[in-house]
Amino acid sequence: MRAMPSSLISVLALGGLLWAAPAAGESAIAFTQDVQIYGYCFDTADANLCAEKYCFEGSGQQCQTRFRSAAQGFFSLALGDRGWGVGYSISNGDIAGKNAMNQCWQQTQGCRVVETWQADGVE
């Protein structure tokens, strides 16, 4: 197999003729400062901005992304009295929930799973 000259590759790329894989989506969670209101997004390239937007819309307060991941699989968010936890499992939402609860209980009391989602990386 012959290699393509670099000038031909440049022309093909500029013309949009070379296939490029789509950008992988991310998951993100943003919280208010008191960690009582959150926003989350998944399977998007700008997950942190998206999560901050939804958090702000729900609270009217400034929000900050405190979790971000490009992994594919199941995620769960657990909230407690003064803390939170995120759990992950490559193939099982229940395991992700248990992991989120374990992480949350290490920080605070009153933990409960409030969200579970499956990220497949496709925007």
pLDDT tens column, 79-113 = 999 899 999 999 999 999 999 999 999 999 999 99
How many C-alpha atoms does 33 have within 13 Å on its Cβ side?
3
Residue 55 scores a pLDDT above 90: yes
Q: What pTM does this model have?
A: 0.77
Residue 21 scores a pLDDT above 50: no
Residue 114 scores a pLDDT above 90: yes
Residue 1 scores a pLDDT above 60: no
Q: Dump the DSSP string for 39-107.
A: EEEEEETTHHHHHHHHHHHHHSS--EEEEEE---EEEEEEE-SS-EEEEEESS-HHHHHHHHHHHHHTT
